[in-house]
Amino acid sequence: MTQARPATPTVTFIDEYCQLYQDLFPDVRSFEHFKQVQIGMLSEIKRKTLPAIAKAVGESDPQTLHHFVANAPWSVDALRARRLTKLKQALAGRAFTLCIDETGDQKKGHTTDDVASQSIGNLGKLANGIVSVNAYGVLDHITFPLIWYRSTNRKRA
């Protein structure tokens, strides 16, 4: 039986963080993509799109990270549950401040998923756009994400 090759090392603190999730990925390549997305999100690139992240981390095909997300051989729910469990362990019962943020972006057209006519708070009116609700925690001047929800106000046929 052939053993899988080890994942290519990256930045030490990224490798240590991602190691907590390695068993959620069925193959080494998807785990490496997970690490690349983490590096890209922390990088100084202006737009955090998957093709821009792929380019920034030296991925030869800019579509690889798109396929990593779109055809995920791993469970988003399992990853989220693991992250929240680790966060709860790190908090060790300490109280934190809960922040709820509704963010809306006006969009033209309907080609982006979940674009619909909806109330966009920062515009103060109904407009064609996307709205997300984000829950953050704040403890000792450190902000950390808890969970988010993107509205889906499309009318179903």
Domain ranges across the chain = 12-81, 94-150
Distances from the Cα of 135 to the Cα of 26, 57, 100, angstroms: 29, 29, 5
Q: What is the pLDDT tens value at each position of the chain, 157 positions in all? A: 667 788 999 999 999 999 999 999 999 999 999 999 999 999 999 988 999 999 999 998 888 999 999 998 899 999 999 999 999 999 999 999 999 988 777 777 766 676 777 777 777 778 778 788 899 999 999 999 999 887 765 544 3
pTM of the model: 0.78
Give the model's pLDDT for residue 156: 41
Tell me how many degrees the CA angle 29-15-71 measures, rounded to the nearest 5. 30
Q: What span, in angstroms and rounded, lies between the C-alpha atoms of 85 and 44?
A: 28
